[in-house]
């Protein structure tokens, strides 16, 4: 797996040479497993092993990489003895995605 640098606002990322914050966020969140990891952490903190299990046995290498990226981006923290958990920024993201979740449920019902 080729490691891409963690996207940062103001820095070039997939889809933006200027580092527009929304496009940088799309790059980060569009990476394989990133949203699933955030989704699984929406409740209580999870250990690495529990998080891996919740994510359908994601490979440890990919999980480590995504956790590192999400941590660098300020969305996940690791508390020794407690596990991985969302930051306030990640919880804000969850609230921002709530309308998209409602849309997806409506879309699924109508299909």
Rounded to 5°, angle at Cα 100 from 97 and 105: 130
Residue pLDDT, tens place only, 99-110:
999 999 999 999
Handedness of CA 46, 99, 89, 68 (dihedral sign): positive
Cβ(7)–Cβ(20) below 8 Å: no
Tokens of 61: 């290498």
Q: What is the pTM of this model?
A: 0.88
The whole-number pLDDT of residue 18 equals: 85
Cβ(21)–Cβ(9) below 8 Å: yes
Domains and CATH numbers, the chain: 35-110 (1.10.10.10)
Residue pLDDT, tens place only, 48-89:
999 999 999 899 999 999 999 999 999 999 999 999 999 999
């Amino acid at each position: 797996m080729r490691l891409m640098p963690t996207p940062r606002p103001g820095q070039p990322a997939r889809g933006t040479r200027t580092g527009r914050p929304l496009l940088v966020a799309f790059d980060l969140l569009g990476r394989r497993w990133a949203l699933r990891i955030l989704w699984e952490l929406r409740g209580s903190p999870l250990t690495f092993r529990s998080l891996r299990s919740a994510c359908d046995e994601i490979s440890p290498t990919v999980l480590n990489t995504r956790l590192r990226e999400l941590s660098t981006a300020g969305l996940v923290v690791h508390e020794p003895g407690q596990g991985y958990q969302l930051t306030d920024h990640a919880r804000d993201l969850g609230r921002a995605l709530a309308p998209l979740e409602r849309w997806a449920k409506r879309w699924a019902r109508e299909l």
